[in-house]
Structure 1
């Protein structure tokens, strides 16, 4: 057992006076391409990262839930059946128990501690990792009959519901089903998926800009509402129902709906092309798609920020980088870069240093495969 795990267990014991009986974890994820397509019934291509969220649990008598977040140093509690939005991190715990109850699962009270090395607000699904880890832990604690896809859909319902973030299904599916070394090619309409090996000749490098974002914030929900309005004007159920052949109609929409819809349609096409490039081992083509995706997120979807744009431009200047793009919901967060095999850590450190010098921020370098 690692020192970190020992510390987490000791914290649980100190707080609650007993040993945890269940340990569960879920990884963060980096989305290679396919941003803001999930809630439009589209295609996405995420992969798991080594950083993860771990929960420790033990049952207790009664219906009280006691929770502690070690990273935040904060406690919270509530009564099962009395879940209500508080605007705090405890809403993630309460959201899960509320959804489990709605599905007919009967729980008793429990104690839970949460520890994570997925950077908060990084665009690497810290919230989904927490939700999936918690559902996994409760599944084991109460011997619940829940498969891995249901783990993801229940976690999403919790985030859409009590937490109040109108996110799509990608993050939870990735945290529940994705593995390092392969991408999860997911159809968000029917939740069918295929695992695609990551290219052998490349390192994945993730650099957190130091600008945190929040899914529960208004900008994310505004983008979703704009997509829904575009669908209404185009008389389709979802933007997934349109292709690049429909762009003339899309471009005729009023601003900014035309740009929002254009991003989703072209991004879906880029995901399909990216899968083809990965299967062919065409790193140059895959890199081009990364850069094109970022430009679309910056200009059409308007979810990037100057700091993230700077990282992408610094990456573009390095000959060892095939491509780079904003990953995650945006409004801050991280950049994913595709680097020549064996160069990822060195080039990532150079880009991080240059970025820090230019902005005064403290970026965090994550190199899942370097």
Structure 2
């Protein structure tokens, strides 16, 4: 993986070896979309692609950061973090939150590299934030556990970055592992590690359509959920179940559909967990299909290209089900397939998708 080259990358750019290196994976969400900021349930897993960082301390309060994937260098001073609407805001957001919490930092140099595709729905931003916090934790001896790292990462993204995301991505990048699903209750942050069945392949295909959670659509969906809660007289949509759908359906458009997606998606997460434990992969596939339809029609976060990938995947005999993964407005599709067939099925879907759209998809799992 790219982690092995981190020290050499730092050395070639800064002329000295880093004091510490750290890494964090991207994540694929199996099911449970837009439920995290509604205090609901989610089921993500780590992917092999990851963000990596090399760090060294500097005297004074200057911060120097180089992003090798962008071939860009930025600098700022601790305590003078200012929103720029660019990638450095993720770094600035982290240091701003750490200082606000009373953690003692000096200046530092950082070399960042990542093979989690930007805008893919696979948490490239959370991987960067968690990776940076892990590195700073080691560099400065910060007393932070993995859950606190996730919470700080979320605050940085909600704050200086300006993306009103929930806690799932940061928790997944901080705690999830490849080959396992992290069954997470976003209300109290309790979690369980669920080993994925050995007789299935997890397939992830990036559509090539990038999204941006700091842009308006994602934040609009969250505001719509908050308005639905006000009209329903609840603190969060987590308080409602499928037995409350009659009340929900009576809400004005589009609030009724937004709330209906969240409520039924929570139920689908619980059903998926039960089906995975029982090894009922056909049922998991059915739940994937229902989840995508809900995201497309009720939550309206899918796009034509993603819908095409899902349609092509479901035509594959070895694929149990497929759905949009991540916040939407582009990004990736997750599929489950019979063991040993996932790569070939994913390659066929990618080839036909490229033929029909002219876009260049990227098969991220199964990894080579």
Question: TM (normalized to structure 2)?
Answer: 0.98
Distance 1:368 1:23 in 2: 26
Q: Which residue of structure 2 lines up, in the alignment, with residue 321 of structure 1?
A: 319
Residues 83 and 211 of structure 1: CA distance in aligned 2, closer, same or farther (over 3 Å)? same
Partner of 2:286 in structure 1? 288
Task: Write out per-residue CA displacement over residues 310-344 of structure 1, whole angstroms, 9 at most, x where no aligned residue.
Answer: 00000111110000000000000000000110000
CA change 1:269–1:281 in 2 (3 A) is same
Match of 1:234 in 2: 232
Q: Distance in 2 between matches of 1:8 and 1:129?
A: 15
| Alignment correspondent of 1:110 | 108
Match of 1:101 in 2: 99
> Measured at CA, do residues 8 and 147 of structure 1 come closer, stay the same or move farther in structure 2, by a change above 3 Å?
closer
Tell me the residue number matched to 2:241. Answer: 243
**TM-aligned CA deviation for residue 9 of structure 1:** 3.0
**Distance in 1 between the 2:183 and 2:12 partners?**
43
Does residue 42 (structure 1) correspond to residue 40 (structure 2)? The answer is yes
Aligned mates of 2:81, 2:15 — CA distance in 1: 25
Where in structure 2 are the equivalents of 1:262-277 lying within 5 Å? 262-277=260-275
1:320 and 1:369 mapped to 2: Cα distance? 18
The range that moved more, 195-204 or 171-180, is 195-204
CA positional deviation for 1:199: 1.7
Correspondence 1:169-184 to 2 at 5 A: 169-184=167-182
Contact persistence 2:27–2:173 (CA under 8 A): yes
Question: What secondary structure does 1:332 align onto?
Answer: coil
Cα distance in 2 for partners of 1:291, 1:68 equals 41
3-state SS in 1 of match to 2:277: helix
Counterpart Cα distance in 2 of 1:45 and 1:329: 14
Does residue 19 in structure 1 map to residue 12 in structure 2?
A: no
Q: In the alignment, what sits opposite 1:355?
A: 353
Counterpart of 2:342 in structure 1 is 344
Q: Check the 8 A contact 2:127/2:173 in 1, yes or no.
A: yes
| 8 A Cα contact 1:49 1:368, kept in partner | no
Q: Does 1:187 align with 2:165?
A: no
1:159 pairs with 2:151:
no
- Mark the runs of 5 or more structure 2 residues left unpaired by the alignment: none
Shift of 1:357: 0.2
* CA displacement, residues 74-129 of structure 1 (integer Å, 9 cap, x when unaligned): 11110001111111100000100011111110100000011001011000000000
**In structure 2, what is the equivalent of residue 56 of structure 1?**
54
* Alpha-carbon offset, residue 18 of structure 1: 2.0
8 Å contact 2:3–2:52 — kept in the other structure?
A: no
Q: Which residue matches 1:143? A: 141
Give SS of 1:53's match.
strand
Distance in 1 between residues matched to 2:190 and 2:4, nearest whole Å: 38
DSSP-derived class of the 1:96 partner:
helix
Asked if structure 1 preserves the Cα contact closer than 8 Å seen for 2:202 and 2:335, the reply is: yes
Question: CA offset at residue 19 of structure 1?
Answer: 1.4
Checking the alignment, whether the CA contact within 8 Å between 1:52 and 1:129 is kept in structure 2 is: yes
Query: Can you list the C-alpha shifts for 1:175-214, whole angstroms capped at 9, x where unaligned?
Result: 0000111100000000000011112211000000000001
CA contact (8 A) 1:203 1:369 kept: no
Please tell me the root mean square deviation across aligned C-alpha atoms, in Å.
Answer: 1.1
Task: Tell me the distance in 1 between the aligned counterparts of 2:270 and 2:83.
Answer: 39
| Structure 1 gaps, min length 5 | none
User: Which whole-Å CA distance do the structure 1 matches of 2:3 and 2:280 have between them?
Assistant: 40
Q: Is the 8 A contact 1:205 1:344 kept in 2?
A: yes
* Helix, strand or coil at the partner of 2:46: strand
Give the Cα separation in 2 of the matches to 1:240 and 1:369: 35
Match of 1:77 in 2: 75
Determine the C-alpha separation between the residues in 2 that align with 1:10 and 1:184: 33
**What SS does structure 1 have at the residue aligned with 2:192?**
strand
Partner of residue 212, structure 2: 214
Q: Give 1:5 deviation, angstroms.
A: 5.1
Number of residue pairs aligned between Structure 1 and Structure 2: 368
Q: Secondary structure at the match of 1:49?
A: strand
1:6 CA drift (Å) = 6.4
